Every structure is written in structure tokens, then in C-alpha cells.
């Protein structure tokens, strides 16, 4: 969906500028045309030559370059794009933007542009947390500018906390969401996917046969309709889709924490095959064989993530979709499960081994709502995902 679209990429002067080289490569892979602009400070971190080589286009650096002005003036340059992205957006660049300065090419373009602007902040955590930066961030958002990130994590300066620039794929996802005009544009959706692994000891765990294929396909289909998607995934066999924010977890408890952190969302699809039980006290050291004595595992019940979110008193997503993996009496059990858990829809499937559904590429589902039950023919999981995404878009319209 980015093919043929044009991005004006303003690279600011921070160590995260190196990530822009990878970002450029990812955007070119998607067929996007990128016009790069480097601030003076950015040129200390990446060279115009490497940026030009990856972008396959001329790099702009100077406000008063007469050749540039005769070829393409700065006003025109600021308006040729579908989107302007500032990455990394340093504290200084953000301050300039919030204050309306126009004393170099980057800040002048940002003042002159009439296209949407997105920034990916990157700086030391104290600089990010500084009241001045927080004030500027709030001002920029109030001015209609979209912020992607920053993330928390280890920094080049050795400190740990918020301030890291979002990863290139997260930025690509945000660009897609910003440029999409699909029916889910502006909506935030959550998808859980894959199995969970519940540890017995550091080397053993309890798991299930879920591949994560259906959840991954649903996340991709929602993103393709323009949604901003948070994809919370257990250790799945299939890779997460591009263009979504991926949160990788292992256990049900971690999945619940990640889901709660992702709220508020407009809609949530719980496609994960969450383990119902965990080992009550997972051992810190490997359990050793003990002369024929068999270990006894005690279980504790895991939180029911779907039920917990469905039954939220305040801030509940407008649409909550659960899955029901059943081996007998599929429709009746799924209808009862919908009521018991309190979700709006249940997508039920028959996971007996002979169906080949769990871990396979196809699915045959029944979509159960408060007053209907539709049985869809067996089809590719990607097709189920597209149909379901269309349904979700209609329900959230
Ligand atoms: N689910 C969840 N948290 C759990 C268990 C299940 O969020 N701890 C969600 C699944 O993601 C799915 C739905 O609940 O959307 C139903 O999962 P399923 O395994 O079919 O049902 P269970 O709740 O485990 O009930 P049972 O095992 O009795 O069928």
C-alpha cells in the first residue's frame, strides 16, 4: 500500500540516525519514494552519500542552495510528499517545531508544509522526560502532528528508559496507518495470537499446538484496512506480520500484562490459545531425576484474559471478539462460552486432529454473535482473516 507514495524524510542529528538507513531500505522494499533531507547535525552521524544511495534520490541539506532553489524550491519540496517524517526527532528539532522556528532547511520545510507530519523522537531519557520536551511533545500533538514512539529500552549512552527511537518496522507500520484511507483508519485494534509457554523449570514448559497463523493473518488484515494494530503474541511458529506493533510474550500472565498495557483500544480479537493452567511454582533450577521418583506438578489457574477484558466496567473495547477451540459440540459450547466470558462475538472452530485446523493453513469457522450463528465454508486462514476484518470494520464504523 506504500507503493507510489512519497515520503519527505527529515533525518535529525542523533545517534538513532543510523536506523534511518534500515528504515529507508524497508520503505524502498515497499515501493515508497523517499526524498531525504539531512540536518547539519545529521550529517555527523550518517553521510549524504549513503542516504542518497539507499533512497536512490538526491539528498537535500542546505536552505540557501541556489541549484536546489532553481530545481525545486523549499516550498515545493515541502509539499511534494504524501507525508513528512522526522526521524530521529531530537529534543532540539522538536523544540524548533513547537516554537515555529525556520532557520535551516529542515525547520523551514516543516513550517512550509501542508502535508501531514509524523515524528519519531529519539533522545536520552532525561531529555525526553524533561518538562520542556514533554511540553513540546504535547504542543506538537495539539498541532496535529503524529508521534511514533519513543520506546523504552537500552540507549547508546548506556542508560535505560524511554527515549529510544521506534524500530524501523514500527515506523513503517505507523506510516501505513497514517497513509491508509481504509475503513479502520484512526482505529486502534488489539490482537492476541499464538500459544503460551508455561514454565515447569528453566528448560521445560507446557504448551499447545497453536501455530499463531490465524492470529497473525487477522492482525495483517486489520492493518491492511488502516487500523493501528498492537499484536501480542506468544511463541508462535509463523512470523508476526509487517506493519503492526509486536509485543512478544511467553506466558499467560505476561500476555495479560501486555494486553492491559495496550489499552485503550477500539476493538480486540483474542485469537491466542492461552494455556488454562500454569505450574503453581515453576522451579528455578532444572528438576533432576531422582531414582525412579516421579515429579508431581501442581497447577494454578491462569487469568482468563478474554473474560477479564470483556467484563471491564470502564474503558471496555467497543468490540471484543473471542475464539473457541472445541473438539465436540462446537456451536453449542461456543455459544455458551460467549455468554460466560461476556464477549461480543465468538469465532468457533473444530480443533479435532483430523480437521487439520490447528497448525494448518485452512480454517472452517462459525461466527457467533448475540443473535446469530454463521457457518463459513472451509477456506485459507488468510481469507477468514480478511472476512473477519471486514466484519470488524463494519461493526466499528
Ligand atoms: N482465553 C484467554 N485467556 C485464557 C484462556 C482463554 O484470553 N486464560 C481466550 C482465548 O484467546 C479465546 C477464548 O478465550 O479467545 C476461548 O479459549 P478456549 O481455549 O477455547 O476456551 P477456554 O476459556 O480455555 O475454555 P475451555 O478450555 O473450557 O474450552
Give the pLDDT of residue 137: 96
Q: Is 302 in the pocket of ligand 1 (CB under 6 A)?
A: yes
Grid coordinates representing 273?
Answer: 490459545
Grid coordinates representing 360?
Answer: 494448518
Q: What is the pTM of this model?
A: 0.67
DSSP annotation string for 79-97: TS-SEEEEEEE-HHHHHHH
Class of domain 6-179: alpha beta
- Set 20, 157, 343, 373: catalytic member: 157
Q: How remote is the CA of residue 276 from the centroid of ligand 1, in Å?
A: 7
Q: In what order do the strands lie in the sheet with 345-350?
A: 245-248, 228-233, 188-193, 267-270, 319-326, 345-350, 365-368, 373-375
Q: Is 346 in the pocket of ligand 1 (CB under 6 A)?
A: no
Give the pLDDT of residue 72: 67
Strand 160-164 to 151-154 pairing: antiparallel
At residue 56's C-alpha, the angle toward residues 21 and 78, to 5°, is 85
Dist. CA 48–CA 50, nearest whole Å: 6
Dist. CA 19–CA 283, nearest whole Å: 40
Provide the greatest CA pair distance for the chain: 86
- C-alpha gyration radius of the chain: 24
Q: Is 269 in the pocket of ligand 1 (CB under 6 A)?
A: no
Dist. CA 345–CA 334, nearest whole Å: 10
Strand 198-199 to 205-206 pairing: antiparallel
Q: Whose CA is nearest to atom 6 of ligand 1?
A: 274
> Can you give the residue ranges of every domain in the chain?
6-179, 188-396
Provide the CATH topology of domain 188-396. Rossmann fold (3.40.50)
Active site residue 20: no
Give the pLDDT of residue 68: 67
Give the pLDDT of residue 353: 87
Dist. CA 318–CA 286, nearest whole Å: 44
Grid coordinates representing 104?
Answer: 535551516
Q: How remote is the CA of residue 244 from the centroid of ligand 1, in Å?
A: 24
Cell 539531512: give the residue. 38
DSSP annotation string for 42-60: GGGTS-HHHHHHHHTSPPB
List Cβ neighbours of 387 (8 Å cut-off, separation of 6 or more): 376
Give the pLDDT of residue 118: 96
Tens of pLDDT along the chain (397 residues) come to: 788 899 999 999 999 999 999 999 999 998 999 999 999 999 999 999 999 999 999 999 987 775 666 666 778 888 889 999 999 999 999 999 999 999 999 999 999 999 999 999 999 999 999 999 999 999 999 999 999 989 887 777 788 888 999 889 889 888 988 888 789 988 999 999 999 999 999 999 999 989 999 999 999 999 988 898 999 999 999 988 877 889 999 999 999 999 999 999 999 999 999 999 999 999 999 999 988 899 999 999 999 999 999 999 999 999 999 999 999 999 999 999 999 999 999 999 998 888 888 878 888 999 999 999 999 999 988 889 989 999 999 999 9
Give the pLDDT of residue 100: 97
Give the pLDDT of residue 157: 74
Q: What is the DSSP code (8-state) at residue 141?
A: H
**Nearest to 215, CA basis, from 22, 5, 384:** 384
Using most ligand atoms within 8 A of CB, pick from 209, 268, 311, 322 the residue to mutate for ligand 1. Answer: 322
Give the pLDDT of residue 383: 87
Give the pLDDT of residue 113: 94
Dist. CA 164–CA 281, nearest whole Å: 35
**Nearest to 190, CA basis, from 265, 117, 252, 302:** 265
Q: What is the DSSP code (8-state) at residue 195?
A: B
Residue 210 to residues 165, 191, 196, 274: CA-CA distances in angstroms?
33, 15, 9, 9
Atom of ligand 1 nearest to the CA of 321: 15
Using most ligand atoms within 8 A of CB, pick from 323, 329, 347 the residue to mutate for ligand 1. Answer: 323
Amino acid at each position: 500500500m506504500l507503493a507510489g507514495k512519497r515520503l519527505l524524510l527529515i533525518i535529525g542529528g542523533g545517534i538513532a540516525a543510523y536506523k534511518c538507513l534500515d528504515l529507508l531500505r524497508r520503505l524502498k522494499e515497499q515501493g515508497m519514494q523517499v526524498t531525504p533531507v539531512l540536518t547539519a547535525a545529521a550529517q555527523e552521524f550518517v553521510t549524504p552519500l549513503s542516504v542518497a544511495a539507499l533512497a536512490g534520490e538526491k539528498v537535500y541539506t542546505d536552505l540557501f542552495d541556489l541549484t536546489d532553489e532553481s530545481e525545486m524550491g523549499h516550498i515545493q519540496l515541502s509539499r511534494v510528499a504524501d507525508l513528512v517524517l522526522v526521524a530521529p526527532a531530537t529534543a532540539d528539532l522538536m523544540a524548533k517545531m513547537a516554537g515555529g522556528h525556520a532557520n535551516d532547511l529542515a525547520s523551514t520545510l516543516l513550517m512550509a508544509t501542508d502535508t501531514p507530519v509524523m515524528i519519531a523522537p529519539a533522545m536520552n531519557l532525561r531529555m525526553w522526560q524533561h518538562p520542556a520536551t514533554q511540553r513540546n511533545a504535547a504542543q506538537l500533538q495539539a498541532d496535529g502532528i503524529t508521534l511514533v514512539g519513543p520506546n523504552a529500552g537500552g540507549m547508546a549512552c548506556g542508560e535505560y528508559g524511554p527515549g529510544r527511537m521506534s524500530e524501523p518496522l514500527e515506523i513503517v507500520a505507523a506510516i501505513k496507518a497514517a497513509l491508509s484511507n481504509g475503513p479502520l483508519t484512526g482505529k486502534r485494534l488489539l490482537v492476541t495470537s499464538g500459544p503460551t509457554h508455561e514454565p515447569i523449570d528453566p528448560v521445560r514448559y507446557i504448551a499447545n499446538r497453536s501455530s499463531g497463523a490465524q492470529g497473525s493473518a487477522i492482525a495483517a488484515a486489520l492493518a491492511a484496512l488502516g487500523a493501528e494494530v498492537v499484536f501480542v503474541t506468544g511463541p508462535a511458529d509463523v512470523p508476526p506480520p509487517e506493519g503492526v506493533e509486536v509485543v512478544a510474550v511467553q506466558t499467560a500472565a505476561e500476555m495479560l500484562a501486555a494486553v492491559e498495557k495496550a489499552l485503550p483500544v477500539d476493538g480486540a480479537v483474542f485469537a491466542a490459545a492461552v494455556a488454562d493452567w500454569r505450574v503453581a511454582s515453576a522451579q528455578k533450577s532444572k528438576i533432576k531425576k531422582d531414582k525412579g521418583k516421579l515429579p508431581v506438578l501442581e497447577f494454578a489457574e491462569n487469568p482468563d484474559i478474554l473474560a477479564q477484558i470483556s467484563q471491564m466496567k470502564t474503558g471496555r473495547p467497543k468490540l471484543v471478539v473471542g475464539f473457541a477451540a472445541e473438539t465436540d459440540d462446537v456451536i453449542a459450547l461456543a455459544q455458551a462460552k460467549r455468554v460466560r466470558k461476556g464477549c461480543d462475538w465468538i469465532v468457533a472452530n473444530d480443533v479435532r486432529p483430523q480437521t487439520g485446523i490447528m497448525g494448518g493453513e485452512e480454517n472452517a469457522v462459525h461466527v457467533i454473535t448475540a443473535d446469530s450463528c454463521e457457518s463459513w465454508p472451509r477456506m485459507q486462514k488468510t481469507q477468514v482473516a480478511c472476512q473477519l476484518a471486514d466484519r470488524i470494520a463494519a461493526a466499528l464504523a
